[in-house]
Structure 1
Amino acid sequence: MPTVVLHSAVVDTLGLRITGGALEPGRVLTLESISAEFGVSRTVAREAMRMLEGLGLVRSGRRVGLVVLGIESWQVLDPRVIAWRLQGAGRVDQLRSLTEMRHAVEPLAAAGAARHAPAAVRARLGEIAARMRALGEAGEGDHAEFLGLDVEMHELLLRHSGNELFGALTDVVAAVLSGRTALGLMPASPVPGALEQHEAVARAVAGGDPDAARRAMEAIVGEVQEALHRLP
């Protein structure tokens, strides 16, 4: 098996354990124990731990080993950390936190796109919203295509908001949208109001109306927040 596959498997398993609480802060790991458990070389184990250290999940220390760190040290916006947390017992709380962040950022990004997006992007947003409408009204349509279009729309708005910091969050938002779907936390069919608001965002951006774009995006993310608050 290729080395990159081996250390990816180790990273994913340990990442899930740390973010899920099975490996608590302060727990000490060693390259020897990792090598033995996963049947990999020390080189593979070392590379895996370097990746986890880069994500803030562990800290290496001379004569100490590898110490598991708490959430305050994690790179919580890294898509890998998000994906691990969404697979853990606290996935709903993670989605709630990320949705609150989206509520703070995405309405402003939509307003920015209404000011700054080039003509080709404005046109594409209209195409996306129309296709999402068609898929939503089809009922049992192509859920993978719908998700892909939803992700593309939000990414375009962030990237063309005129704010490079918003643009840097595209992978985060994609991870949230994909994670909500993968965990079965999306409705079986798109909420009609959500389809209307995606169309409203596209119209507002096309028409250069920042206020309308902001309000429509607030409604989209607000619907998600309400759905999450209804969960136990």
Structure 2
Amino acid sequence: MPLSLHNRVIDELGRAVIDGRSPAGTVLHSDDIAQTQGVSRSVVREAIRVLAAMGLVESVRRIGIRVLPQERWNAYDPTVIRWRLEGEGKGAQLRSLSELRSAVEPMAAELAAQHCPEELSAQLMAVAAQMRTVGRAGDLNRFLELDILFHRLVLHGSGNEMFASLDEPIGAVLSGRTDLGLMPARPHETALQWHVDVADAIQGGHPEKARAAMELIMRRTIAEVEPTWADTPRPYFA
């Protein structure tokens, strides 16, 4: 099947669920979707399979395709994160991931300083140095690539497979922050130095220093993006 059709149907149906145009409890039908989207039923079936894996819908025998409530969504799926960041839910999504990062990444840095392989810590140090050079030059696209890699290396360097599995969600929120224009034209010099401090502490085997430097990064990040969720209520799932 043409991949472009497949992706288009996933994107249109998924966004409709995320932004509330297809609210929880709505029942969709494959034939209607195929007709509306101008695609075959096989394309619709594959799209629904993908959306079901994201927790957005479920197929119910003799009923149709039921839209699921938010508590059933796969909150860590990078595509779900991207859709939320591009819609009205961007404030809540930024808040959730920023708070998650502030809880996980300082501990990841501390563990990386204890367990990170030498080759990985050397790469982390090189990336931090490149971030400072690129950040000072104001190349935000290249800085974003390096920033995503930096935090990925810290998570993987922790030796904790559950922390490592957060690399894609955290990469998605870093991308979203840049796409939403929430990054300064040039990263703050102090923030650039804190990244170097994290890398230096990890390479030198200083867990407390690594954790402290990462906590500074996280607090600065939250302070910069917090206005996006200032008036956003918190969801509470029973």
Same fold (TM over 0.5): yes
Task: State the distance in 2 between where 1:119 and 1:34 align.
Answer: 53
Once the two structures are superposed, residues 181-218 of structure 1 have per-residue CA deviations (whole angstroms, 9 ceiling, x without a partner) of 11211112102221111011011011100111001111
Seq. identity, %: 48
Once the two structures are superposed, residues 98-122 of structure 1 have per-residue CA deviations (whole angstroms, 9 ceiling, x without a partner) of 0100111000101111111111111
Runs of 4+ in structure 1 displaced over 6 angstroms?
none
> Any unmatched runs of 5+ in structure 1?
none
Task: State the distance in 2 between where 1:224 and 1:20 align.
Answer: 26
CA shift, 1:146, in A, is 0.7
2:85 aligned partner: 86
CA shift, 1:50, in A, is 1.1
2:136 aligned partner: 137
Task: State the distance in 2 between where 1:45 and 1:122 align.
Answer: 45
Q: What pairs with 1:1-232 in structure 2 (closer than 5 Å)?
A: 2-138=1-137, 141-231=138-228
CA shift, 1:142, in A, is 2.2
CA shift, 1:73, in A, is 0.5
CA RMSD between the two structures: 1.1
Contact 2:29-2:65 within 8 A present in 1 as well: yes
Task: State the distance in 2 between where 1:185 and 1:22 align.
Answer: 27
What amino acid does structure 1 have at the position aligned with 2:62?
R
Task: State the distance in 1 between where 2:134 and 2:53 align.
Answer: 40
Contact 1:16-1:87 within 8 A present in 2 as well: no
SS at match of 2:174: helix
Alignment: residue pair count: 229
What amino acid does structure 1 have at the position aligned with 2:104?
V
Contact 2:140-2:185 within 8 A present in 1 as well: no
Task: State the distance in 2 between where 1:135 and 1:48 align.
Answer: 39
TM-score, normalized by length of structure 2? 0.93
CA shift, 1:4, in A, is 2.2
CA shift, 1:58, in A, is 0.6
